[in-house]
Amino acid sequence: MYQFCPFCRTLLLINRMNGTTSFCCRTCSYSESVGRIHERIVFDKEIKERIVWKEDVMRSMAKCEKICEKCGYNTATFYEMQTRSADEPMTIFYQCLQCKNTWKE
């Protein structure tokens, strides 16, 4: 909850001095003494992360007919990534579905 000055409507700042707490206006020098200030922070949301296994990702990736240089299998998954500057073409990475060999073009 925010407190505002009743005269100039400026946000009041909390000033702690010599064991006393007060709200002070920096524009018109209004001051209001305050008792104890309690602050309570409640975290309601529980953050849950989904763990994605590599096999799940591999099943959903796009597949193409590309011959593996290592085992000769003819099906691979692929994805594109910008590895150089924006005016350069994207790099295509392939991974063989049989031996998991990865190469790029």
DSSP at 88: S
Is the CB of residue 49 less than 8 Å from the CB of residue 77?
no
Q: Is 64 annotated as a binding residue?
A: no
Rounded to the nearest 5°, which phi and psi values hold at 21?
-120, 135
**Host H or E run for residue 9:** none
Q: Is 99 annotated as a binding residue?
A: yes
Q: Is 24 annotated as a binding residue?
A: no
Q: Is 96 annotated as a binding residue?
A: yes
- What residues form the annotated binding site? 5, 8, 25, 28, 68, 71, 96, 99
- What residues form the annotated binding site for Zn(2+)? 5, 8, 25, 28, 68, 71, 96, 99
